[in-house]
Amino acid sequence: MTEAKASAQGLSGGFTHFDEQGRAAMVDVSDKTETERTAIARGRVVMNPATLARIQDGEVGKGDVLGVARLAGIMAAKRTAELIPLCHPLMLAKVTIDLTPAPPDAVQIEALVKVTGRTGVEMEALTAVTVAALTVYDMCKALDRSMRIEGVRLAHKSGGKSGPYEAA
Protein backbone atom coordinates (compact mmCIF):
# COMPACT_ATOMS: atom_id res chain seq x y z
CA MET A 1 0.00 0.00 0.00
CA THR A 2 1.38 3.38 -0.91
CA GLU A 3 1.86 6.08 1.73
CA ALA A 4 -0.79 8.22 0.00
CA LYS A 5 -3.29 5.33 0.01
CA ALA A 6 -2.53 4.50 3.65
CA SER A 7 -2.97 8.14 4.58
CA ALA A 8 -6.26 8.36 2.66
CA GLN A 9 -7.52 5.29 4.52
CA GLY A 10 -6.39 6.66 7.88
CA LEU A 11 -3.72 3.98 8.32
CA SER A 12 -0.69 6.22 8.66
CA GLY A 13 0.05 8.64 11.45
CA GLY A 14 1.36 6.21 14.04
CA PHE A 15 -0.96 3.24 13.67
CA THR A 16 1.23 0.23 14.30
CA HIS A 17 -1.15 -2.67 13.78
CA PHE A 18 -1.03 -2.61 9.97
CA ASP A 19 1.55 -4.08 7.63
CA GLU A 20 2.79 -2.47 4.40
CA GLN A 21 -0.29 -3.75 2.56
CA GLY A 22 -2.68 -2.28 5.13
CA ARG A 23 -3.56 -5.65 6.67
CA ALA A 24 -3.98 -6.11 10.41
CA ALA A 25 -0.76 -7.42 11.94
CA MET A 26 0.71 -8.03 15.38
CA VAL A 27 3.42 -5.48 16.17
CA ASP A 28 6.98 -6.86 16.18
CA VAL A 29 8.36 -5.97 19.62
CA SER A 30 11.52 -8.09 19.40
CA ASP A 31 13.80 -5.04 19.09
CA LYS A 32 12.24 -3.16 22.01
CA THR A 33 13.99 -2.92 25.34
CA GLU A 34 12.40 -4.66 28.31
CA THR A 35 11.29 -2.08 30.87
CA GLU A 36 8.96 -2.05 33.84
CA ARG A 37 5.55 -1.03 32.56
CA THR A 38 2.50 -0.11 34.59
CA ALA A 39 -1.06 0.79 33.64
CA ILE A 40 -4.02 1.88 35.74
CA ALA A 41 -7.55 1.86 34.36
CA ARG A 42 -10.74 3.02 36.01
CA GLY A 43 -14.48 2.72 35.52
CA ARG A 44 -17.70 2.47 37.47
CA VAL A 45 -21.02 0.71 37.64
CA VAL A 46 -23.95 3.00 38.40
CA MET A 47 -27.02 1.38 39.96
CA ASN A 48 -30.06 2.01 42.11
CA PRO A 49 -29.09 2.95 45.69
CA ALA A 50 -30.99 -0.11 46.96
CA THR A 51 -28.80 -2.37 44.80
CA LEU A 52 -25.62 -0.84 46.21
CA ALA A 53 -26.99 -1.30 49.74
CA ARG A 54 -27.63 -4.99 49.07
CA ILE A 55 -24.08 -5.42 47.71
CA GLN A 56 -22.62 -3.73 50.79
CA ASP A 57 -24.79 -5.77 53.15
CA GLY A 58 -23.90 -9.05 51.44
CA GLU A 59 -27.52 -9.65 50.49
CA VAL A 60 -27.13 -10.54 46.83
CA GLY A 61 -28.25 -14.13 46.28
CA LYS A 62 -25.32 -15.01 44.02
CA GLY A 63 -22.71 -14.30 46.71
CA ASP A 64 -19.92 -11.80 47.39
CA VAL A 65 -20.32 -9.47 44.41
CA LEU A 66 -17.16 -7.42 44.95
CA GLY A 67 -15.00 -10.48 45.72
CA VAL A 68 -16.17 -12.37 42.65
CA ALA A 69 -15.76 -9.27 40.45
CA ARG A 70 -12.21 -8.79 41.76
CA LEU A 71 -11.30 -12.37 40.77
CA ALA A 72 -12.99 -11.98 37.39
CA GLY A 73 -10.98 -8.83 36.69
CA ILE A 74 -7.70 -10.51 37.61
CA MET A 75 -8.51 -13.52 35.43
CA ALA A 76 -9.48 -11.24 32.54
CA ALA A 77 -6.21 -9.30 32.70
CA LYS A 78 -4.32 -12.59 32.44
CA ARG A 79 -6.34 -13.65 29.37
CA THR A 80 -6.41 -10.37 27.44
CA ALA A 81 -4.38 -11.78 24.54
CA GLU A 82 -7.07 -14.43 24.04
CA LEU A 83 -9.77 -11.75 23.77
CA ILE A 84 -8.08 -8.92 21.83
CA PRO A 85 -6.69 -10.37 18.59
CA LEU A 86 -3.47 -8.33 18.24
CA CYS A 87 -2.41 -8.19 21.90
CA HIS A 88 0.77 -9.97 22.90
CA PRO A 89 0.52 -12.67 25.58
CA LEU A 90 2.33 -11.30 28.62
CA MET A 91 3.72 -12.77 31.81
CA LEU A 92 2.09 -10.29 34.18
CA ALA A 93 3.98 -9.47 37.36
CA LYS A 94 1.07 -7.90 39.26
CA VAL A 95 -2.67 -7.36 38.88
CA THR A 96 -4.76 -5.64 41.53
CA ILE A 97 -8.44 -4.77 41.29
CA ASP A 98 -10.08 -2.43 43.77
CA LEU A 99 -13.88 -2.26 43.87
CA THR A 100 -15.06 0.52 46.14
CA PRO A 101 -18.68 1.32 46.96
CA ALA A 102 -19.38 4.96 46.11
CA PRO A 103 -22.69 5.82 47.80
CA PRO A 104 -25.36 6.48 47.00
CA ASP A 105 -25.40 4.60 43.71
CA ALA A 106 -22.10 3.30 42.29
CA VAL A 107 -19.17 0.94 42.58
CA GLN A 108 -15.83 2.44 41.51
CA ILE A 109 -13.38 0.02 39.91
CA GLU A 110 -9.62 0.47 39.52
CA ALA A 111 -7.17 -2.01 38.02
CA LEU A 112 -3.39 -1.79 38.28
CA VAL A 113 -1.31 -4.05 36.06
CA LYS A 114 2.50 -4.38 35.98
CA VAL A 115 4.92 -6.24 33.76
CA THR A 116 8.58 -6.14 32.85
CA GLY A 117 8.50 -6.55 29.12
CA ARG A 118 8.62 -5.12 25.62
CA THR A 119 5.02 -3.94 25.38
CA GLY A 120 2.62 -2.12 27.67
CA VAL A 121 -0.27 -3.38 29.76
CA GLU A 122 -2.93 -0.78 28.99
CA MET A 123 -5.21 -3.34 27.35
CA GLU A 124 -4.85 -5.71 30.31
CA ALA A 125 -5.87 -2.96 32.76
CA LEU A 126 -8.82 -1.87 30.60
CA THR A 127 -9.95 -5.46 30.15
CA ALA A 128 -9.72 -6.09 33.91
CA VAL A 129 -11.94 -3.09 34.72
CA THR A 130 -14.46 -3.98 32.02
CA VAL A 131 -14.82 -7.62 33.05
CA ALA A 132 -15.04 -6.69 36.73
CA ALA A 133 -17.84 -4.25 35.85
CA LEU A 134 -19.62 -6.86 33.74
CA THR A 135 -19.40 -9.29 36.65
CA VAL A 136 -21.05 -6.78 39.00
CA TYR A 137 -23.78 -6.36 36.40
CA ASP A 138 -24.20 -10.10 35.94
CA MET A 139 -24.45 -10.81 39.65
CA CYS A 140 -26.97 -8.00 40.27
CA LYS A 141 -29.04 -7.92 37.07
CA ALA A 142 -31.97 -9.74 38.71
CA LEU A 143 -32.18 -6.83 41.17
CA ASP A 144 -31.49 -3.95 38.81
CA ARG A 145 -31.52 -4.10 35.02
CA SER A 146 -30.99 -0.33 34.81
CA MET A 147 -27.31 -0.53 35.86
CA ARG A 148 -24.82 1.31 33.64
CA ILE A 149 -21.12 0.74 33.10
CA GLU A 150 -19.49 4.14 32.70
CA GLY A 151 -16.22 5.92 32.26
CA VAL A 152 -13.90 3.00 31.51
CA ARG A 153 -10.61 4.68 30.64
CA LEU A 154 -6.86 4.57 30.95
CA ALA A 155 -5.87 6.72 33.92
CA HIS A 156 -2.09 6.16 33.99
CA LYS A 157 0.67 4.41 32.10
CA SER A 158 4.42 4.34 32.58
CA GLY A 159 7.36 2.62 30.96
CA GLY A 160 8.30 2.11 27.37
CA LYS A 161 9.46 4.44 24.63
CA SER A 162 6.40 6.70 24.65
CA GLY A 163 6.91 7.56 28.32
CA PRO A 164 4.38 8.31 31.03
CA TYR A 165 0.73 9.23 30.55
CA GLU A 166 -1.66 10.70 33.12
CA ALA A 167 -5.32 11.25 32.26
CA ALA A 168 -6.59 14.77 32.80
Active site residues per annotation: 138
**Contact (Cβ atoms closer than 8 angstroms) between residue 77 and residue 87:** no
What Å distances lie between residue 93 and 1, 22, 40, 56, 66, CA to CA?
39, 34, 14, 30, 23
Residue type (1 letter), 130: T
Residue type (1 letter), 28: D
For 116, phi then psi, to 5°, come to: -110, 115
* DSSP H or E run through 129: helix 122-140
